[in-house]
């Protein structure tokens, strides 16, 4: 099912924005899949204990990571304008930044700290940060900005191009930070029968006790909302007369 949704997402983005939009999407999925498969053995036990889903993307995850970008691409198709084009790249950059941070940051040897109160948190839990993860997040956003630079180099004045790339990188990174903050506050966390903190609602047939967040505000919802908010913020900045 995930492959079917990914196919229609790909077709929709190609119709809306052509090859540059597809390049951003493929850059995100290919690079994220690469880092997902990296250090698989080291991450396997932790992911099994903490998360409802593994690295394989289903249709909900495809919609969560590509939904905001698809909405903005549709707006760009209906009302062509560079603001929507940049906002689209920001949505992808936010997802890519979050993905790189999650897949690389989880391998950090330092203790994660909360984005809300900076106190130590359990490794792998939403809202936790490490300096390695922050660096990976910045690189993930910059990676999508570089794709924009490559495809827009011949069609946009250089200074304007640098401005756009800066906005994509900055707001993409901000989107990942928003993702962490939403995850820390709204995403549910549970305690299992052994007293261990987890994001899984149940361990086998035994339901875990919810200790924070809202059940409907899953990681997929967090991904969708954070990328959409980051894109909207970037669009708002681009619409101001002094930018």
> pLDDT-based confidence at 79, cuts 50/70/90?
very high
DSSP string across 169-193:
HHHHHHHHHHHHHHHHHTS-EEE-T
- In the prediction, which pLDDT does 142 show? 98
Lowest mean per-residue pLDDT among 158-167, 186-195, 228-237: 186-195
- In the prediction, which pLDDT does 2 show? 63
Helix (H) / strand (E) containing 123:
none
CA within 13 Å, CB half, 87: 28
- pLDDT of 5-18, one tens digit each? 788 889 999 999 99
Q: For residue 104, is pLDDT > 80?
A: yes
Kindly list the distances between the CA atom of residue 180 and the CA atoms of 36, 39, 71, 82, 133, in Å, as whole numbers in the listed order. Answer: 18, 22, 22, 28, 11
CA within 13 Å, CB half, 23: 15
- In the prediction, which pLDDT does 202 show? 77
- In the prediction, which pLDDT does 22 show? 96
Q: Per the structure block, which two tokens stand in for 242?
A: 């002094």
> pLDDT-based confidence at 147, cuts 50/70/90?
very high
Q: Per the structure block, which two tokens stand in for 61?
A: 């995850």
Average pLDDT estimate for 199-220: 80
What is the rounded average pLDDT for all residues in the chain? 88
**Residue given tokens 């932790």 in the structure block:** 46
Percent of the chain with pLDDT over 70: 89
CA 94 to chain centre: 5
Q: Per the structure block, which two tokens stand in for 146?
A: 């570089």
- pLDDT of 179-201, one tens digit each? 999 999 999 888 877 777 887 77
**Residues shown for the chain:** 243
DSSP string across 23-63:
HHHHHHHHHHHHHHHTTHHHHHHHHHHH-SS-SS--HHHHH
The DSSP symbol for 213 reads: S
Quickly count: other Cβ atoms within 10 Å of residue 68's Cβ: 28
CA angle 216, 101, 214 (to 5 degrees): 15
Q: For residue 124, is pLDDT > 90?
A: no
Q: For residue 207, is pLDDT > 90?
A: no
- pLDDT of 16-72, one tens digit each? 999 999 999 999 999 998 988 876 766 666 666 566 655 555 567 788 888 999 999
- In the prediction, which pLDDT does 231 show? 97
The DSSP symbol for 203 reads: E
- In the prediction, which pLDDT does 93 show? 98
- In the prediction, which pLDDT does 41 show? 67
- In the prediction, which pLDDT does 60 show? 78
Q: For residue 98, is pLDDT > 80?
A: yes
- In the prediction, which pLDDT does 56 show? 54
- In the prediction, which pLDDT does 216 show? 81
Q: For residue 109, is pLDDT > 80?
A: yes
Residues forming beta bridges with residue 198, ordered by sequence position: 190
Quickly count: other Cβ atoms within 10 Å of residue 140's Cβ: 30
- In the prediction, which pLDDT does 224 show? 95
The Cα 202–Cα 84 span in angstroms is 41
User: Which candidate, 120, 68, 121, 126, places its Cα nearest to that of 93?
Assistant: 68
């Amino acid at each position: 099912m995930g492959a079917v949704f990914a196919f229609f997402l790909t077709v929709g983005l190609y119709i809306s924005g052509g090859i540059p939009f597809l390049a951003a999407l493929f850059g995100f999925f290919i690079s994220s899949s690469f880092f997902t498969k990296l250090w698989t053995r080291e991450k396997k036990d932790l992911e099994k204990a903490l998360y409802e889903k593994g690295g394989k993307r289903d249709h909900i995850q495809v919609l969560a990571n590509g939904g905001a970008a698809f909405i903005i691409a549709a707006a760009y198709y209906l009302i062509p304008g560079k603001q929507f084009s940049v906002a689209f790249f920001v949505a992808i950059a936010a997802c890519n930044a979050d993905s790189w941070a999650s897949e690389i940051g989880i391998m950090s040897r330092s203790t994660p700290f909360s984005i809300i109160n900076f106190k130590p948190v359990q490794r792998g839990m939403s809202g936790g940060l490490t300096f390695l993860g922050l660096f990976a997040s910045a690189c993930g956003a910059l990676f999508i900005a570089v794709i924009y630079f490559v495809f827009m180099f011949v069609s946009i004045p250089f200074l304007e191009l640098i401005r756009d790339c800066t906005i994509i990188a900055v707001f993409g990174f901000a989107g990942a930070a928003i993702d962490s903050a939403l995850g820390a506050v709204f995403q549910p966390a549970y305690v299992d029968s052994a007293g261990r903190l987890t994001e899984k609602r149940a361990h086998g047939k035994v339901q875990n006790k919810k200790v924070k967040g809202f059940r409907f505000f899953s990681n997929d919802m967090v991904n969708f909302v954070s990328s959409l908010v980051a894109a909207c913020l970037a669009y708002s900045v681009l619409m101001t007369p002094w930018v």
